[in-house]
């Protein structure tokens, strides 16, 4: 069986740059005078996080949390575990979770519950991509980069079996045999 390859580009580099710039400005406005901590969700959000923090003209701190699905693979089972925890407590901090994609919503709803239990001052979620059609649980996403249809995407942090995270754009995975 051949490995599926990246296909049609869904979100180009210029589109990413423009929209992430807008998100950065919006976050800076919303937290003016405050120093929020941006929590990147590994691994998928590492490129988005790097570009988003550079688009925020204001004081912030950063931290990362590594999650893994119990089932493995690329589709969420909803059973999530923390494989690498935050370095610093978030009690009384303004927290902005930076996530790659919200699909069923199970992962982010788990993470929201987990972080709420640490008593942040406020907690918001920023997701680069929202696949709203596939939502199984009602979860609030405060900042959304792009809403896309139900296609499996790779590139710009999104992987297929560990591959393609390094592409500078977001593409649909081409699963049709050559």
- Asked if residue 118 lies in contact with residue 76, where contact means CB atoms within 8 angstroms, the answer is no
Q: How far is the CB of 59 from ligand 5GP (least distance, A)?
A: 28
Buried b (16+ CB within 10 A) or exposed e, 148-162: beeeebbbbbbbbee
Show the binding pattern over residues 27-66: x = contacts ligand 5GP (CB under 6 A), - = does not.
-----------------x----------------------
Between 51 and 159, whose beta carbon lies closer to ligand 5GP?
159
Which position among 103, 130, 159, 174 bears the catalytic label? 103
Span 135-154, contacts to ligand 5GP by CB under 6 A: 152-154
Distance CA 107, CA 130 (A): 13
Sign of the C-alpha dihedral computed for residues 129, 67, 23 and 95 taken in this order: positive
Q: How far is the CB of 147 from ligand 5GP (least distance, A)?
A: 13
Question: Residue 178 corresponds to which tokens in the numbers above?
Answer: 């050559």
Among 56, 103, 124, 141, binds ligand 5GP (CB under 6 A): 103
Q: How far is the CB of 50 from ligand 5GP (least distance, A)?
A: 17
Residues near ligand 5GP (CB under 6 A), total: 17
> Helix or strand or coil: residue 103?
coil
Between 23 and 80, whose beta carbon lies closer to ligand 5GP?
80
Any contact of residue 104 with ligand 5GP (CB under 6 A)? yes
The kind and range of the H/E element at 37 are strand 37-42
Q: Which class for 20: exposed (0-12), middle (13-18), buried (19 or more C-beta within 10 A)?
A: buried
- Asked if residue 37 lies in contact with residue 86, where contact means CB atoms within 8 angstroms, the answer is no
Q: How far is the CB of 177 from ligand 5GP (least distance, A)?
A: 20
Residue 103 annotated in active site = yes
What residues are labeled active site? 103
What are the residues binding ligand 5GP (CB under 6 A)? Answer: 44, 74, 76, 100-108, 152-154, 158-159
């Amino acid at each position: 069986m051949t490995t599926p390859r990246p296909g049609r580009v869904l979100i180009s580099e210029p589109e990413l740059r423009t929209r992430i710039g807008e998100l950065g400005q919006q976050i800076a406005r919303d937290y003016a005078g405050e120093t929020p901590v941006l929590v990147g969700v590994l691994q998928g959000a590492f490129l988005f996080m790097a570009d988003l923090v550079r688009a925020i003209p204001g004081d912030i701190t950063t931290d990362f949390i590594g999650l893994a699905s119990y089932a493995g693979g690329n589709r969420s089972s909803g059973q999530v575990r923390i494989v690498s925890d935050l370095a610093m407590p978030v009690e009384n901090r303004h927290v902005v979770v930076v996530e790659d994609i919200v699909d069923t919503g199970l992962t982010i709803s788990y993470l929201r519950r987990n972080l709420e239990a640490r008593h942040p001052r406020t907690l918001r979620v920023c997701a680069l991509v929202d696949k709203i059609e596939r939502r199984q649980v009602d979860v609030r996403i405060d900042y959304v980069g792009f809403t896309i249809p139900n296609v499996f995407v790779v590139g710009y942090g999104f992987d297929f079996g560990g591959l393609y995270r390094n592409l500078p754009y977001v593409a649909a995975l081409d699963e049709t045999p050559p």
